[in-house]
């Protein structure tokens, strides 16, 4: 007879790891599945995670896996989930394959937690990518402090670029915004930023200069050169939920999984935590949501067992 696990957790970032830890300490059987391809893999250090400020993101995940695998009821597989399907008895079947292989495995579980985060597309990726994670970052809350006082660039093509500029300006009054020909900053926002001493450039970006010490300047197609030593980019984020199509989850206008305050989704027995849900994209937020989800999953399972 196929073993039925208490939970399958999909994603081993802070949200999934915190949920797994909580469930393990409730003596629940858990299979943790993860491809080990985090969105922030290019980032050398993570900030804002209490007691681990400045740690490598990959090291943080490694430490988390070691902690949860110390519990006898937890298993871990590095794998890519291809489908999650509901079963007639109210349980779920999760199918996955190993990276670089077509070999499939499957698990039956009473509950499923989705903590897969998001993928991202960078603006002018061919120019931004070499500096991403070192000179350029996407999280202002996480990395703004370390760029304080520098000549900063903000690169983005979305309508919230002006709002993000106001946050970046907290760390340096020497800020220039580059919209790569998108016209993303309205006339009103442009005027407001100008009053604050923030210049906006709409010419397409031709390149980013730099060397071993980091980026040095942003080059525009109009021939201008703007000395900048660091900055931020506004990626476009994408929810990757193809594996969960059979569940029929309710999502918002951005494709993120809708959850209630207890991390329950619209499908009974399915929960979600971290960046795959609407809200702030920070490590401690994801971990907190995972902790809530674990507590709720355990209580919901108790209700089913009565």
pLDDT tens for 201-257 read: 999 999 999 999 999 999 999 999 999 999 999 999 898 899 999 999 999 999 999
Strands 152-155 and 136-137: unpaired
CB atoms within 10 A of CB 88: 5
**pTM to 2 decimals?**
0.90
**130-151 residue pLDDT tens:** 999 899 999 998 899 999 999 9
For residue 210, the number of C-alpha atoms closer than 13 Å in the C-beta half-sphere is: 21
**Cβ–Cβ under 8 Å, residues 282 and 275:** no
Does the pLDDT at position 295 exceed 60?
A: yes
CB 273 within 8 A of CB 19: yes
Distances (CA, A) of 170 to 52, 235, 269: 24, 20, 43
Nearest to 297 by CA among 13, 29, 79: 29
The secondary element (H helix, E strand) that includes residue 7 is strand 4-10
Residue 95's H or E segment, with its range, is strand 92-97
pLDDT at res. 58: 86
In tens, the pLDDT along 37-64 reads 766 655 677 888 888 888 888 888 999 9
Using DSSP's 3-state secondary structure scheme, residue 238 falls into strand
99 pLDDT tier (thresholds 50, 70, 90): confident
Q: To which H or E segment does residue 78 belong?
A: strand 74-78
Cα gap 23→224, rounded to integer Å: 56
Q: Return the pLDDT at 38.
A: 64
């Amino acid at each position: 007879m196929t073993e039925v696990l208490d939970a399958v957790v999909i994603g081993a970032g802070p949200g999934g790891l915190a949920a797994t830890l909580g469930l393990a300490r409730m003596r629940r059987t858990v299979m943790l599945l993860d491809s080990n391809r985090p969105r922030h893999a290019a980032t050398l250090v993570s900030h804002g995670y209490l007691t681990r400020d400045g740690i490598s993101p990959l090291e943080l995940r490694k430490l988390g896996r070691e902690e949860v695998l110390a519990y006898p009821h937890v298993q871990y597989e590095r794998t890519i989930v291809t489908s999650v399907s509901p079963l007639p008895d109210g349980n779920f079947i999760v199918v996955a394959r190993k990276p670089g292989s077509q070999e499939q495995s499957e698990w039956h579980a009473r509950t499923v937690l989705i903590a897969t985060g998001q993928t991202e597309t960078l603006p002018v990726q061919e120019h931004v990518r070499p500096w991403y994670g070192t000179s350029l970052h996407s999280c202002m809350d996480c990395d703004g402090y370390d760029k304080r006082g520098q000549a900063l660039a903000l690169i983005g093509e979305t309508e919230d670029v002006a709002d993000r500029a106001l946050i970046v300006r907290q760390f340096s009054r020497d800020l220039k915004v580059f919209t790569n020909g998108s016209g993303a900053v309205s006339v009103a926002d442009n005027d407001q930023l100008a009053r604050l001493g923030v210049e906006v450039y709409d010419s397409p970006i031709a390149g980013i200069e730099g060397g071993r010490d980091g980026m040095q300047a942003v080059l525009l197609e109009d021939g201008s050169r703007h000395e900048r030593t660091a900055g931020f980019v506004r990626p476009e984020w994408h929810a990757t939920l193809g594996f969960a199509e059979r569940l029929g989850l309710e999502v918002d206008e951005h494709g993120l999984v809708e959850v209630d305050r207890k991390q329950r989704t619209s499908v009974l027995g399915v929960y979600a935590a971290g960046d795959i849900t609407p809200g702030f994209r920070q490590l401690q937020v994801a971990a907190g949501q995972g902790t809530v989800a674990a507590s709720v999953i355990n209580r919901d399972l108790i209700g089913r067992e009565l």
